[in-house]
Structure 1
Amino acid sequence: MTSTPDVTLSERAAKRIRAIGEAEGRAVMLRVAVEGGGCSGFQYQFDLVEAAQADDLRIERDGAAALVDEMSLVLLKGSEIDFVDELAGAEFRVRNPNAKSSCGCGVSFSI
């Protein structure tokens, strides 16, 4: 597992990851992956995990960590993982400069 500056974690996302871990009483990391599918071609997958896999790249900020696998990193370079809490709901989001378009829900995108 290596560290990568190619993807960043916002202050809000780091705070939310830490809060989830504290509420659950265990250390958690946010795994972010890109999968084929969704209405625009690719979609983001978010999972909370306790351990990294051997090929994971680690993004850290303020005591929180996110993980991205090497295959997903190609589509996420230059992205920021953020957390938003809006009237419509609270969720992790990826601000991806590589996405040429995205669907209305913001979960899927095309390159």
Structure 2
Amino acid sequence: MTETAISEVALTEQAAKRIAALLSTEAPGSVFRVSVDGGGCSGFQYQFAIDSSASAEDALVERDGARVAIDPASIGFLAGAKIDFIDDLMGQSFRVENPNATASCGCGASFSL
């Protein structure tokens, strides 16, 4: 975990509140994991999950009680990204504003570089 990696990804206030609420029902030490995998309609897709702990290699982003772990393979794809939580008439979802993406699908769940 490096300071550079920590500063590369930002959480909005809304995302931090939602993640903290999710983690409050989990075992102590749990983290919200964000990763990038191959797939989706645009080539890469974001994955969100609760994990029981972070690994030593993970970058950690913390804000207002939210702990987000990002694996070393994914952090390069997420450099400069902002993670937000949207709650509107269309539903609730985490959204990633990623400056590295050259295109994304209509729902924003996948992207290409």
1:82 aligns with 2:84: yes
Paired residue for 1:57? 59
TM-score between the two structures when normalised by the length of structure 2 = 0.89
Q: For 1:19, which of 10, 18, 21 is the aligned residue?
A: 21
Tell me, in whole angstroms, the C-alpha distance in 2 between the residues paired with 1:66 and 1:25: 14
**1:66, 1:12 → 2: CA distance?**
14
Contact 2:23/2:66 (CA < 8 Å) preserved in 1? no
Match of 1:104, SS? coil
CA distance in 2, matches of 1:26, 1:94: 26
Structure 2 residue 22 is the aligned partner of structure 1 residue 40: no
Shift of 1:54: 2.1
Report percent identity of matched pairs: 53
- Structure 2 gaps, min length 5: none
- Give CA-to-partner distance per residue, 1:50-87, whole Å, 9 cap, x none: 30012110001112111111111111100011111111
Q: How many residues align?
A: 110
Q: In the alignment, residue 83 of structure 1 is paired with which amino acid?
A: F
TM-superposed deviation, 1:21: 2.5
Q: TM-score, normalised by structure 1?
A: 0.91
Distance, in Å, in 1 between the alignment partners of 2:101 and 2:26 is: 36
CA drift of 1:2 comes to: 4.2
Aligned-partner Cα distance in 2 for 1:64–1:2? 18
Gaps of 5+ in 1: none
TM-superposed CA distance for 1:91, in Å, is: 1.0
